[in-house]
Structure 1
Amino acid sequence: MTASVKLLSLATASPPNDLAQDDVFEVAHRIFISRFPEFVRMGPVFDRAGVRHRQIARPVDWYLQPHGWADRAAVYDEVALDLFCRAAEAALAEAGLSGAEVDAIVTVSTTGVSTPSLEARAMGRMGFRSDAARVPLFGVGCAGGATGLSLAYRLAKAQPGAKVLLVCVELCSLAFRLEELSKTDIISTAIFGDGAAACVVSSGADGFAAVTGCAEHTWPDTLGVMGWRIGEGGLAVVLDQALPPFVRREIRPVVEAMLARQDLRLEDIDRFICHPGGMKVIEALEGALGLGQGALDHEREVLADHGNMSSPTVLFILDRARRAGLSKRSLVTALGPGFTASTVTLEAA
């Protein structure tokens, strides 16, 4: 009988520059008000975003200067690598492993471009073996936490006993730009933050949860819902404001179909662990999945304390859920560019 794949550990890391939402609003007001008159009408977005604090790669003054690709890439290489190593070191320490015992590294990041990718840059500091498999994953955005965990699970299942390290790192703040202003720029300024999370997945070992299944669904003709647009100054956010209604209308039948392939129903899930997106998306998920208002409490807490960090966010939420005591069966869900839904089914150890 094949041993089940377990989550052995989970760790998170944040950059040191902490910003209160009130301070973000003051800075945004100073920047936007003279160049984007509609900011007055959109100002309440900051109050409704559900974010109290977020952590960012650089002190706020850095963002008030113009920066091109070279500057942003240099910050990404430095800060994303540091966050990668901090999260990975903590996850390996909790699992009682060294870098040399890692057989495969899945790196998820969509907010910067680094070639060679982060796990290669981290090899010396982390002590990874020269024969460790490197699997960098780009372009999955906010879905990346669930998509990356799904991939790590598949790799661990395909090679019993292998230790698979998943690291999600995002610096969403690097998309903040002074050159162009739009409603989307204001919304992203109100909700996005930076962070990293890592976990170790393996079979034949003790862990805090077993991974029992995964699934993915991409809706046709939805490329414009979410993603990045490449401009002269770097990556720019693409975010359709019709996303919450889309989630409310589309997510339930898709989740039901994904669960059905595992011989499960919605009623079999004791706890949903959802990438929050923003407050309106949280409310749309609660309504669509019949969870009741306020059910996604860990999601609200992580959004409040860190903002939307893209791919690591759902792992931050999973970490809170396991510290509070995982329910018997949980479904990790995240939505991202494609437009795609990714899910991972967990059973508490």
Structure 2
Amino acid sequence: MTAVHLLSLATANPPNILTQDEVVEAATEIFSARFPAFSRMTPVFAHAGVRRRQLAQPTDWYLQPKTWPERSAVYDEVALDLFCQAAEAALAEAGLSGDEIDTIVTVSTTGISTPSLEARAMTRMGFRSDAARVPLFGLGCAGGATGLGLASRLARAQPGSTVLLVCVELCSMAFRLDNLAPADIISTAIFGDGAAACVLSSGPSEGFATVTGAAEHTWPDTLDIMGWRVEPNSLGVILARALPPFIVKEIRPAVERMLAGQALALDDVDRFLCHPGGMKVIEAIEGAFGLGQGALDLEREVLADHGNMSSPTVLFVLDRARRRGLPRRSVVTAMGPGFTASTVTLAAA
């Protein structure tokens, strides 16, 4: 089987930094009069595990009602900038230029842009006119792992080719002032904006890791666990309270099946690199895999510093892990709408 190497990885965030204390202050001002149960939900902010996050716009922008066109205009501008920042940094680390990329995989679920972001970035990034474009929508928080797995398959399908993966999400574009529900409050407590990019190659360069396997598992009849509702002025979040118990019950056997397809068992994995969907999700994963509380320390760090950025977040975790030294075998894993879990198995270079 043709080897696929991860040559580089870079991350990017917008410049508007908001601490969790500032979020609580703004949320209290906004929600207390609109959502009668808000006072009972304020502990969510303290227990979210988020110290700060980065947002596409300054705080004041979110304090006035916004239309779909207004949100879309911000998405087109800011998501494109983050796409290019992350992609440029990943290419620079790999020692490559945009015209050396054969395939561009773009993952984003928090905005709708047609043409998609990689098309908008063609001239700015110097991509070739014959580069293949693969935009992926609807993967949500699973998108970082799913996109990485797909990018590796595309690189392997054309030996010698180079693939750029970019995940970019503006979760804050779903912030809303109307039709509030508990899920909207929870989202306000945990979500942030960001992007990550990596370069993969099936050529001679080795990079910092080799992708040795990838797999996905989708549970039937679980469409109501996580996702978006398309509403007149915004995307309405779907986030089931039953998610952590579902993870405790279901994730281990699903991952065991995915690893078995690669002739591996859980004990063969030195480190799971997990999407930190929230503190309860992190604790549920630790419990399901028998890791011990606090084992997913990198995940807690990323959540604290950036919040849950949806698809790029697990790549932020991978970036911290590789800078501190990847173990012999690690598995990148994330869960998202579907309800789906994705895994990508890496061997350290």
**Counterpart secondary structure, 1:169:** strand
- Name the CA distance, whole Å, in 2 between partners of 1:149 and 1:248: 25
User: What CA distance in whole angstroms lies between the structure 2 residues aligned with 1:231 and 1:283?
Assistant: 32
SS in 2 for 1:318: helix
Q: Deviations over 1:86-130 (max 9, x none)?
A: 000000000000000000000000000000000000000000000
Counterpart AA for 1:75: V
Matched with 1:72 is 71
After superposition, the CA RMSD in angstroms is: 0.6
- Corresponding residue for residue 223 of structure 1: 223
Query: Within 5 A, what are the aligned runs for 1:261-276?
Result: 261-276=261-276
**Is residue 2:316 matched to residue 1:305?**
no
Q: What SS is found at the alignment partner of 1:332?
A: strand
What does residue 143 of structure 2 align with? 144
Would you say how many aligned residue pairs link Structure 1 and Structure 2?
A: 348
Amino acid at match of 1:55: Q
Residue-by-residue CA offset, 1:133-157 (whole Å, 9 max, x unaligned)? 0000000000000000001000000
Shift of 1:3: 4.1
SS at structure 1 position matched to 2:255: helix
Q: In the TM superposition, what are the counterparts of 1:95-174 in structure 2 within 5 Å? A: 95-174=94-173
Q: Please, what TM-score do these two structures have when normalized by structure 1?
A: 0.99
Q: Distance in 1 between matches of 2:233 and 2:201?
A: 41
Extract unaligned runs of 5+ from structure 1: none
Q: Which residue of 1 aligns with 2:189?
A: 190
Aligned to 2:288: 288
Paired amino acid for 1:297: D
**Inter-partner Cα distance in structure 1 for 2:33 and 2:71:** 25
> How far 1:237 sits from its partner (Å)?
0.8
Structure 2 equivalent of residue 251 of structure 1: 251
- Aligned to 2:333, the other structure's residue is in SS state strand
Identity %: 76
- Unmatched 5+ stretches in structure 2: none
CA distance in 1 between counterparts of 2:221 and 2:206 reads 42
Moved over 2 A (4+): none
Whichever residue aligns with residue 334 of structure 1, its letter is A
Task: List per-residue Cα deviations over 1:297-325 (Å, max 9, x = no partner).
Answer: 00000000000000000000000000010
Cα distance in 2 for partners of 1:180, 1:56 equals: 22
Q: Residue type matched to 1:205 in 2?
A: S
> Match for residue 277 of structure 1?
277
Cα offset, 1:236, TM superposition: 1.3
Cα displacement string for residues 174-200 of structure 1 (whole angstroms, at most 9, x for unaligned residues)? 000112211001000000000000000
Partners of 1:127 and 1:175 in 2: CA distance: 31
Q: Aligned partner of 2:234: which letter?
A: G
Matched residue of 2:17: which SS? strand
Give the structure 1 partner of residue 14 of structure 2: 15
